[in-house]
Amino acid sequence: MSTPSIFRIFIPVTDFDKAIGFYQRLFDTEGRIIHRGRQYFDCGPVIFAVIENNGTPIGDHIYFSVQNLETVFTRAKELECLEKIDLHGGPAGEIVVRPWGERSFYARDPFGNGLCFVDETTLFTGV
């Protein structure tokens, strides 16, 4: 029996145009519009789908592996979306090596959705 694979994740937003501008800048890609109120960003094998609705933000963070953590951090800082809390014994909104060895920072989009960016050379996968 094969394990299911994730191919798409939806992120709820209340202002579609603002969200698209935010994610285009943060991800440094245009993405592709599916129709008004839905835009896809290819993030490796998983589609990050921005969808306009009245829903509440996701309950936790979505984790992204990136080749150049500093570049993404700079864009997140310019967008003023870095987390302002302490998390796992250190400032969430700064590049820090977490207790499990990942080098990462946390951010939050303008709609309250949590994001975490991890240096791809430090990914902890539990193995």
pTM here is: 0.95
Mean residue pLDDT across the chain: 96
- Specify if 50 maps to a domain: yes
Are the beta carbons of 127 and 74 closer than 8 angstroms? no
pLDDT surpassing 80 at residue 75: yes
Q: Running DSSP on this structure, what letter comes out for residue 14? A: S
23-60 confidence digits (pLDDT tens) = 999 999 999 999 999 999 999 999 999 999 987 999 99
- Specify if 76 maps to a domain: yes
| Structural domain span for residue 116 | 8-122
Dihedral of CA 84/88/91/95: which sign? negative
pLDDT surpassing 80 at residue 69: yes
In which band, very low, low, confident or very high, does the pLDDT at 22 lie, cut at 50, 70 and 90? Answer: very high
- Specify if 1 maps to a domain: no
pLDDT surpassing 90 at residue 89: no
- Specify if 3 maps to a domain: no
pLDDT at 55: 79
Number of domains in the chain: 1
pLDDT at 52: 96
Q: By three-state DSSP, how is residue 47 classified?
A: strand
pLDDT at 24: 98
CATH number where 96 lies: 3.10.180.10
- Specify if 127 maps to a domain: no
Dihedral of CA 14/18/24/27: which sign? negative
Rg of the chain (C-alpha set): 15
- Specify if 49 maps to a domain: yes
- Specify if 2 maps to a domain: no
Dihedral of CA 59/6/71/36: which sign? negative
104-114 confidence digits (pLDDT tens) = 999 999 999 99
- Specify if 32 maps to a domain: yes
